[in-house]
């Protein structure tokens, strides 16, 4: 959520943000409602002052004079009830409009309509040249009996699957390797709830906007999370942290659920776009500082790149354009792995910077460090938040299986994953 003071001071900035990100938000309507609410609240303050004054006078009066004051007090109370009703109505409208206002993108974010206009920053690693006809991940998985999409669909419908035998072991290995790496980097591991209340979904910026992508538990007013970013970022919601505690760095391995609404007929083949997957997610909660946010944005990107480099997978990094940014994101980097069967770099990670957008919604604050206070009281500020995928599987299995395949149909297991495979070995072969 944006500070209304910023919108009042520079409405053009947020009109531009909405236009650049392709959100239909009427800033003029918001500001008109803001003024109307301000007037109503001022009237209520006048009523409260008058009621208080009359309340003090009445005990000292008698007869007609007292009766007149009582009638005046009753009139004020009627006005107060009517204005409170108006405030409640307008406040609800105002709050809904405020939730629609997007975070302006950083100045170095490229303008663009969608992901086709993201700007490549750099490529890392070499794309393998095959001296035989390579298979795609589904062909490899079926031949090795490690992927079963047919039975997944039979049990749960389209975009579902089974990983079997060494496929399940490889899936668990890549996730555990990523978790171990992040813990060694000093991130605190959490095991998180996979269900979230509406205020948590709204606080992290998923609502409004991602309702169609979310699996909803109507009976309980809960939603299955699409990423552990939601519980990790909301972990301290409603709290005032100590400045000395920051930054807080968390990592979680969790299942994730996406309805993929609107994706009918898109990426239906294989394991690329599916309803359920597992992901290692990193979240940073830091001070309200543009410099700190920039620093940790680079850090979480570097963490994900280090995992990709350890897996020896070729990838590229892209600066995501305005039209592909979410409502709360000020800047986002995508990592895209090379996938031979798709003959392209395809998105596997997203590193997002939010400034205080999520923290305002979550009422997530901190008290300044004592060392920064000089002859004044310590301030309470909203935190900044950031998040990034460390690894997500089984999508990452697409480049692993396809790039590590051998002419005989076997798969070479990446070196860093071998100790996680039982029994320890260097290849997946047909049983």
Average pLDDT score over residue span 295-312 = 98
How far is residue 418's CA from residue 424's CA, in Å, rounded to a whole number? 6
Average pLDDT score over residue span 223-250 = 98
Tell me, yes or no, if 350 is annotated catalytic. yes
Give the model's pLDDT for residue 83: 87
Residue 141 has pLDDT above 90, yes or no: yes
Residue 109 has pLDDT above 70, yes or no: yes
Tell me, yes or no, if 425 is annotated catalytic. no
- Rg over CA atoms, the chain: 27
For the chain, helix, strand, coil in percent to 5 are 45, 20, 35
Tell me, yes or no, if 39 is annotated catalytic. no
Which one of 287, 336, 347, 402 is the catalytic residue? 347
Which of these ranges, 9-18, 105-114, 248-257, 261-270, has the smallest mean pLDDT?
261-270
Which one of 159, 258, 327, 360 is the catalytic residue? 258
Give the model's pLDDT for residue 376: 63
pLDDT, one tens digit per residue, over 392-402 is: 999 999 999 99
pLDDT, one tens digit per residue, over 348-371 is: 999 999 999 999 999 999 999 876
Please give the distance of CA 411 from its chain centroid, rounded to a whole number: 34
Please give the distance of CA 394 from its chain centroid, rounded to a whole number: 20
Are 311 and 174 a contacting pair, CB within 8 Å? yes
CB contact set of 383 (below 8 Å; sequence gap of 6+): 241, 246, 285, 286, 287, 288, 356, 359, 364, 365, 366
Give the model's pLDDT for residue 413: 98
Reduce the secondary structure of 311-362 to three states and give it as a string.
CCCCEEEEECCHHHCCCCCCEEEEEEEEEHHHCEEEEEEEEEECCCHHHHHH
- Residues facing residue 334 across a β-bridge: 318, 350
| Residue 73 structure tokens | 């007090």
Which one of 128, 273, 294, 427 is the catalytic residue? 273
Are 206 and 226 a contacting pair, CB within 8 Å? yes
The torsion region of residue 309 among left (phi > 0), alpha (psi -120 to 50) and beta comes to alpha
pTM: 0.93
Tell me, yes or no, if 151 is annotated catalytic. no
Give the model's pLDDT for residue 247: 98
Tell me, yes or no, if 395 is annotated catalytic. yes
Average pLDDT, the chain: 95
| Cα distances (angstroms) measured from residue 345 to each of 173, 317, 340, 342 | 23, 10, 9, 8
Which one of 229, 361, 395, 402 is the catalytic residue? 395
With pLDDT > 90 as the criterion, what percentage of the chain qualifies? 86
Which one of 223, 228, 350, 352 is the catalytic residue? 350
Residue 58 has pLDDT above 90, yes or no: no
Strands 222-224 and 216-217: antiparallel
Give the model's pLDDT for residue 72: 85
DSSP 59-125: GG--HHHHHHHHHHHHHHHHHHHHHHHHHHHHHHHHHHHHHHPPPPPPTTSPP-SSGGG-EEEEEES
- Of the pLDDT bands very low, low, confident and very high (cuts 50, 70, 90), residue 74 is confident
Residue 138 has pLDDT above 80, yes or no: yes
Give the model's pLDDT for residue 371: 64
């Amino acid at each position: 959520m944006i500070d209304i003071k910023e919108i009042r001071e520079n409405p053009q900035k947020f009109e531009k943000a909405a236009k650049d990100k392709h959100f239909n938000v009427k800033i003029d309507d918001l500001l008109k409602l803001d003024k109307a609410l301000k007037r109503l609240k001022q009237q209520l303050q006048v009523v409260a002052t008058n009621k208080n004054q009359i309340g003090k006078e009445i005990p000292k009066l008698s007869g007609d004079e007292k009766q007149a004051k009582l009638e005046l007090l009753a009139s004020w109370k009627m006005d107060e009830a009517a204005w409170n009703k108006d405030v409640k109505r307008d406040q609800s409208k105002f709050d809904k409009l405020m939730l629609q206002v997007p975070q302006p993108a950083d100045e170095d974010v490229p303008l663009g309509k969608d992901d086709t206009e993201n700007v490549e920053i750099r490529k890392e690693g070499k794309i393998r040249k095959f001296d035989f006809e390579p298979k795609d991940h589904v062909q490899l998985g079926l031949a090795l009996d490690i992927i079963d999409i047919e039975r997944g669909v039979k049990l749960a419908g389209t975009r579902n699957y089974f990983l079997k035998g060494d496929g399940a072991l490889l899936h668990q290995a890549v996730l555990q390797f990523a978790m171990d790496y992040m813990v060694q980097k000093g991130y605190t591991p959490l095991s998180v709830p996979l269900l979230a209340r509406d205020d948590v979904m709204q606080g992290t910026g998923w609502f409004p906007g991602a309702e169609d992508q979310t699996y909803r538990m109507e009976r309980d007013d809960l939603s299955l999370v699409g990423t552990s970013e939601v519980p990790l970022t909301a972990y301290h919601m409603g709290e005032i942290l100590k400045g000395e505690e920051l930054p807080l760095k968390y990592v979680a391995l969790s299942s994730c659920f996406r309805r993929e609404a609107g994706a009918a007929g898109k990426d239906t083949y294989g394991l690329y776009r599916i309803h359920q997957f597992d992901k290692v997610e990193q979240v940073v909660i830091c001070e309200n500082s543009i410099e700190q946010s920039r620093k940790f944005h680079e850090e979480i990107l570097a963490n994900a790149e280090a995992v990709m480099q350890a897996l020896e997978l070729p990838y590229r990094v892209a600066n995501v354009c305005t039209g592909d940014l979410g409502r709360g994101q000020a800047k986002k980097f995508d990592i895209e792995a090379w996938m031979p069967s798709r003959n392209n770099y395809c998105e596997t990670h997203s590193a997002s910077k939010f400034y205080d957008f999520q923290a305002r919604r979550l009422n997530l604050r901190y008290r300044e460090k004592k060392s920064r206070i000089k002859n004044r009281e310590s301030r309470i500020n909203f935190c900044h938040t950031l998040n990034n995928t460390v690894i997500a599987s089984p999508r990452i299995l697409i480049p692993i299986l396809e790039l590590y395949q051998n002419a005989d149909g076997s798969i070479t297991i990446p070196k860093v994953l071998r100790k996680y495979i039982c029994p320890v070995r260097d290849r997946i072969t047909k049983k």
